[in-house]
Amino acid sequence: AQSVTQPDIHITVSEGASLELRCNYSYGATPYLFWYVQSPGQGLQLLLKYFSGDTLVQGIKGFEAEFKRSQSSFNLRKPSVHWSDAAEYFCAVGGTSYDKVIFGPGTSLSVIP
Amino acid sequence: EAGVAQSPRYKIIEKRQSVAFWCNPISGHATLYWYQQILGQGPKLLIQFQNNGVVDDSQLPKDRFSAERLKGVDSTLKIQPAKLEDSAVYLCASSFGDRDPEAFFGQGTRLTVV
């Protein structure tokens, strides 16, 4: 069965510091992996996605993520965080053959000025 | 390109009342999802449609929730009767499905049951 874990419920970083949000997944075949961001009162916006090919994927707003099959991980990174990055971040996994897209519990990011 | 449209944006009802939500997916998207997002949690899949057929509804509380997608386009999600624990944001999403499973989300409907 598909599942997604995000070990960190809440992370606080200083503005300008680097960021890494962890995501681990369980899926029986080659997964499609996503990171979404949700600001308060807003809908879900896609940051980046991995389908195949290069395991380091670039997204919007300066984010990147690395797919590591051996570790079943898809961690999100940003070299320098901005105050506007404060939001809830969700990792999700899906697949081909119309498999459902399942979300993790989310990591709440706070940014200290 | 028009995004996923949902209505209403907000709804307040009393427990035991009924409520319905509407979703219009992106044109050409065969797959449609309804998610429930309780405050502080990740979206939980309620039901997935492929065109007008149900692919997965294992998490849908079928004693009170129902959903349909007539003609494989618009969809409605209904709750009858509502309980206090149904208070949540109900998100609709759509995708091309097998060709590209990236889900595009609507703004959601915030339901408060009092």
**Which residue from A96, A97, A70, A76 is spatially nearest to A34, judged by alpha carbons?**
A76
Substitution target from B90, B105, B110 for chain A, most A beta carbons within 10 A = B105
Q: Which two tokens stand for residue B91?
A: 């998100």
Confidence of residue A19 (pLDDT cuts 50, 70, 90): very high
Q: Two tokens at B41?
A: 């949690």
Q: Going by C-beta distance under 8 Å and a sequence separation of 6 or more, which residues neighbour residue A50?
A: A31, A32, A33, A34, A57, A65, A67, A74
Of A90, A98, A100, the CB nearest to B98: A98
The pLDDT of residue A96 is above 80: no
Mapping DSSP to helix (H, G, I), strand (E, B) and coil, where does residue B102 land?
coil
* Chain B residues touching residue A100 (CB < 8 angstroms): 33, 45, 48, 55-56
For residue B81, say if its preceding peptide bond is cis, omega within 30 degrees of 0.
Answer: yes
Listed as ranges, residues in chain B with pLDDT below 50 are none
Contact A20, A75 (CB under 8 A): yes
Instruction: Name the more confident of A106 and A28.
Output: A106
% of residues, chain A, pLDDT over 90: 75
Say what the pLDDT of residue A41 is.
77
Query: Across the interface, do B97 and A98 touch by the CB < 8 Å criterion?
Result: yes
In the prediction, which pLDDT does B9 show?
95
- List the single residue in B42, B45, B102 with the smallest CB-CB distance to A49: B102
Average pLDDT, chain A: 92
Q: What is the pLDDT of residue A31?
A: 87
Q: What is the DSSP string of chain A?
A: --EEE-S-SEEEEETTS-EEE--EEE-SSPPEEEEEEE-TT--EEEEEEE-SS-SEEE-GGG-EEEEEGGGTEEEEEESS--GGG-EEEEEEEE-STTPPPEE---EEEEEE-
Distance CA B5, CA A75 (A): 31
Q: Do A98 and B55 touch (CB under 8 A)?
A: yes
Contact A94 B35 (CB under 8 A): no
Mutate to test the interface with A, among B34, B49, B98, B109 (most CBs of A within 10 A): B98
Q: What is the pLDDT of residue A98?
A: 64
Mean pLDDT of A81-86: 96
Residue pair B44/B56 in contact (Cβ under 8 Å)? The answer is no
Indicate yes or no: CB of B101 within 8 angstroms of CB of A96.
yes
Q: Which pLDDT score, from 0 to 100, does residue B1 have?
A: 62
Report pLDDT for A111: 97
**pLDDT attached to residue A28:** 79
B104 DSSP β-pair partners: B94
Residue with more model confidence, A17 or B30: A17
**Can you give the pLDDT at residue A97?**
58
Residue B14: count of CB within 10 angstroms of its CB: 10
Q: Does B47 touch chain A (CB under 8 A)?
A: no
pLDDT surpasses 90 at A27 = no
Q: Are A97 and A30 in contact (CB under 8 A)?
A: no
Cβ of A103 under 8 Å from any chain B Cβ? yes
User: Which residues partner with B44 through β-bridges?
Assistant: B36
Which residues numbered 14-33 in A keep a CB inside 8 Å of some CB on B?
A: 32
CA quadruple B98, B100, B106, B108: dihedral sign: positive
Instruction: Please tell me which of the candidates A43, A46, A95 has its beta carbon nearest to residue B108.
Output: A43
